[in-house]
Amino acid sequence: MPSLSLHSLQPFLPTPRAKLAIPLRNAVASASPTNPTIKTQKKKKKQDDDYHATLKALNSKGRFPRKSLGQHYMLNETINEELVAAAGVEEGDVVLEIGPGTGSLTNVLVNAGATVLAIEKDPYMAAIVEERFAGTNLVKVLQEDFTRCHIHAHMSSILQDRSNEETKFRHAKVVANIPFNISTDVVKQLLPMGDIFSEVVLLLQDETAQRLADPALRSSEYRPINIFVRFYSDPMYKLKVPRENFFPQPKVDAAVVAFRLKQAVDYPQVSSTKSFFSMVNCAFNEKRKMLRKSLQHFCPSTEIEAALSEVGFPATSRPEELALEDFVRLHNLIFEV
């Protein structure tokens, strides 16, 4: 059967003999300028490869990806392998996966020797993953909304059990192809968990990935989330993933970003993270205003001007001109750390 464009895809039918509109299989991932283009490779796997396993799983249940949940399933096995490699997943690692879908990435994680906690909001997809990995004790599926679940408690329990079996504590990792519409929520929830996770590797919308990994000062894209990301982690843009690698095909390309989480002792020294991020958010709430105006409810504008001068900025400075370390120094002067 000839391959059809993803734009012409029709919903999967539940009958086994129904003719499916099959998406293109040979889509590739564009690497960063320093890396070569990655092409699909044929390898023997312990289970069906991602392309066929994804189509088979969806067709067997008569399921079609739900737009309301931001479901776009990965069809390229090599991309999943790149995600796992970016996190440095090894035998015995504990990995959190958010939105496993049909379990294609889960399969690569299990084949790498990881124990996987998969959080899936869609009860139908959670059932598919549970059924697919029923023969192994390496996968635990929780049917929950990640943005509302107590992930710290779940992971702490798993790691505590693991530490009782091993002599040395090993941080967990996060590897996930998440819905684009919850990217910011996921990042905000995970990055402060350096006590639990060492690496967070996410497949994000390419524009979001670029903004988080390498924000340019004096840009309209420079926001409080950039300060937040740098405060808690060292982000790195790893790989661009063209939209053709997904089913259904989204309107934008994606990218892999790896966040290496900092430990608490490595966080910038501020008296209170609450007051620090409150100051940062206030600064950006009115980006067109000078900092001496937007921050004046913290202290008089004359004190803000003096603090800016000590940090090395003129009194007319605006928030997009300051990097993380500048905001830290400004905060510590205003709040007299």
Q: Looking at residue 60, what is its pLDDT?
A: 57
What is the DSSP pairing of strand 254-261 with strand 94-98? unpaired
Q: Looking at residue 102, what is its pLDDT?
A: 86
Q: Looking at residue 12, what is its pLDDT?
A: 33
Q: Looking at residue 55, what is its pLDDT?
A: 57
Q: What is the pLDDT along the chain (337 residues), one digit of tens a residue?
A: 444 333 333 333 333 434 334 444 445 555 444 443 344 344 444 554 555 565 555 555 556 655 555 567 788 889 999 999 999 999 999 999 999 988 999 999 999 999 999 999 999 889 989 999 999 999 999 999 999 999 999 998 888 887 777 657 789 999 999 988 899 999 999 999 999 999 999 999 999 999 999 877 677 789 999 999 999 999 999 999 999 998 778 889 999 999 999 999 999 999 999 999 999 999 999 777 899 999 998 999 999 999 999 999 999 999 999 999 999 999 999 997 5
Q: Looking at residue 145, what is its pLDDT?
A: 93
Q: Looking at residue 16, what is its pLDDT?
A: 40
Backbone angles phi, psi at 231, to 5 degrees: -65, -40
Q: Looking at residue 24, what is its pLDDT?
A: 46
Q: What is the pTM of this model?
A: 0.81
CB 303 within 8 A of CB 291: no
Helix 77-86 with 50-61: angle, nearest 10 deg? 110
Q: Looking at residue 247, what is its pLDDT?
A: 77
Neighbours of 267 (CB within 10 A): 15
Backbone angles phi, psi at 224, to 5 degrees: -55, -30
Cite the annotated binding site for S-adenosyl-L-methionine by residue number: 72, 74, 99, 120, 145, 177
List of domains in the chain: 6-266 (3.40.50.150), 273-334 (1.10.8.100)
Q: Looking at residue 11, what is its pLDDT?
A: 34
CA distance readout (Å), 130 to 124, 148, 329 = 10, 21, 50
Backbone angles phi, psi at 239, to 5 degrees: -165, 135
Q: Looking at residue 3, what is its pLDDT?
A: 40
Could you say which DSSP state residue 71 is in? -
Cite the annotated binding site by residue number: 72, 74, 99, 120, 145, 177
In whole angstroms, give the CA distance from residue 212 to residue 206. Answer: 10
Tokens in use for 29?
């991932």
What is the DSSP pairing of strand 30-31 with strand 233-241? antiparallel
Q: What residues contact residue 225 under an 8 Å CB cut-off, 6+ apart?
A: 184, 187, 188, 211, 212
